[in-house]
DNA sequence: GTCTATATACGGATAGAC
DNA sequence: GTCTATCCGTATATAGAC
């Protein structure tokens, strides 16, 4: 009762710091973010950041692991769902990721550019390096190829295309907004269209 | 004669600093790079960096403008070549960019993540925000659609797909190397294959 | 042009009062 | 738990000798 009572109204201090940190780290990366800015954005004092999280590094690792975990747990679940067909997985992937990323458009650049600096973090989050390769999804692809239902294609090419079509628009968003897409709402509208279009394009690609 | 004589053997000090700065900025971004590291990598003293380039910021802007300029001048030339067909442009784009990026794989992440921080830099490099939209390339696409030679598609979807297929593998390279691609040479081999495959996939997509 | 030494500022972290 | 004040290392930049 004591302090959980207010939890739904005011976020706890710890949560306020995490939210501010998440936003800033995702936008500016580790080196580009100052603990003072996090404190200010969270509306608290700098000393509290160290009180709750010990150091900037520890706070960053926490945020990074949560971001990576969120990103990959969704991927894992879809890739290994034994009850959905190959085509359904493609549709789910495009739909789920585009929806998620429209809410958090900075995540892909954050993850990709910070994994480059600390590849070890990846391993900490994913128990297996081979979960993609050994997934139900790619097995289904191999099976279709064997049955002659689609053209032979290296699984990695397939992944690069599928993830490229889905994720690349978010990575290149700042550039696209200066290169043909006029507004945020235009961007959102295009991405909403892609939920339906990507599965169609991928199928066409495989039929070649 | 005096100092140009040695220019082909030893790079000038100015050039040594620029090379070191280019490498480090592209790998670690502006905030993640220390001027001391640049000086050390260049094999010169820290004071010389400021002697030649005034400040870290000025040096960074120089490198960034060169990188952006290189990236887009190639794009511009291919997009607006009046003598090549639509199909030839796709082939040229995949071929040229993959070749270039295999030599400088860090450039896309560098450009994309730093354009997010300073979108103005883009404007400084490209006199026109609309050169892509108004390019010969996209006019050729529109014409093909009008002639019924391919399915209607929003030019921006087309660009996201083409650039996504070409550039995304480089952006996600550090992740792919931990997620199915076993070595640098495997990565190179896959990308070499993509030079031929991307045009085929794109054509299939448009025929749907 | 190139170096050593140093000024100055800034960012991460802690001490200690409340 | 939260604040103010402060310490201390480090990063950019410059002064000045050679």
Question: Tens digits of per-residue pLDDT, B157-200?
Answer: 999 999 999 999 999 999 999 989 999 999 999 999 999 999 99
Chain A residue numbers touching B35 (CB-CB < 8 A): none
Q: What percent of chain A has pLDDT over 70?
A: 96
Q: Using the C1' atom of nucleotide D11, identify the protein residue whose alpha carbon is closest.
A: B34
Assess whether B97 and B48 both reside in one domain.
no
pLDDT score of A48 more than 80: yes
Mean pLDDT over B102-108 rounds to 97
pLDDT at A9: 62
Q: Which domain holds residue B73?
A: 67-206
The CATH number of residue A80's host domain is 1.10.357
pLDDT score of B2 more than 50: no
Q: How far is the CA of B137 from the C1' of D8 (A)?
A: 58
pLDDT at B165: 98
A62 found inside a domain: no
Return the closest nucleotide (C1') to the Cα of A48. Answer: D2
The CATH number of residue A27's host domain is 1.10.10.60
Total tally of structural domains belonging to chain A: 2
A61 found inside a domain: no
B156 found inside a domain: yes
Contact criterion met (CB < 8 Å) for B117 and A193: no
pLDDT score of A148 more than 50: yes
pLDDT score of A68 more than 90: yes
Chain A residue numbers touching B117 (CB-CB < 8 A): 28, 32
Contact criterion met (CB < 8 Å) for A122 and B156: no
Assess whether A188 and A111 both reside in one domain.
yes
pLDDT at B125: 83
Q: Is the CB of A196 under 7 A from strand C?
A: no
pLDDT score of B149 more than 80: yes
Closest Cα of chain B to A201: distance in Å?
5
pLDDT at A3: 43
- pLDDT, tens only, A79-91: 999 999 999 999 9
Strand C contact nucleotides, protein CB < 7 Å:
1-5, 10-16
Contact criterion met (CB < 8 Å) for A201 and B161: yes
Contact criterion met (CB < 8 Å) for A201 and B197: no
Assess whether A23 and A71 both reside in one domain.
no
Q: What percent of chain B has pLDDT over 70?
A: 96
Q: How far is the CA of B207 from the C1' of D16 (A)?
A: 71
pLDDT score of B6 more than 50: no
Q: Helix, strand, or coil here: B54?
A: coil
- pLDDT, tens only, B34-88: 999 999 999 999 999 999 999 999 999 999 999 999 999 999 999 999 999 999 9
Closest Cα of chain B to A13: distance in Å?
28
């Amino acid at each position: 009762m004591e302090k959980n009572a207010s939890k739904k109204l005011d976020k706890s201090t710890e949560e306020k710091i995490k939210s501010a940190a998440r936003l800033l780290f995702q936008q500016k990366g580790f080196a580009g973010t100052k603990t003072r800015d996090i404190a200010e954005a969270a509306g608290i004092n700098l000393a509290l950041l160290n009180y709750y999280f010990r150091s900037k590094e520890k706070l960053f690792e926490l945020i990074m692991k949560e971001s990576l975990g969120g990103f990959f747990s969704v991927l894992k679940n879809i890739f290994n769902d034994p009850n959905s067909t190959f085509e359904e997985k493609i549709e789910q992937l495009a739909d789920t990721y585009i929806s998620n990323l429209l809410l958090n458009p900075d995540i892909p650049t954050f993850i990709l550019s910070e994994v480059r600096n600390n590849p070890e973090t990846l391993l900490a989050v994913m128990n297996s390096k081979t979960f993609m390769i050994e997934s139900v999804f790619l097995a289904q692809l191999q099976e279709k190829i064997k049955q002659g239902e689609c053209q032979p294609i290296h699984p990695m090419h397939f992944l690069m295309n599928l993830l490229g079509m889905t994720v690349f628009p978010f990575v290149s968003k700042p550039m696209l907004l200066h290169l043909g897409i006029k507004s945020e709402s235009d961007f959102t509208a295009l991405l909403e269209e892609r939920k339906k279009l990507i599965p169609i394009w991928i199928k066409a690609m495989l039929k070649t």
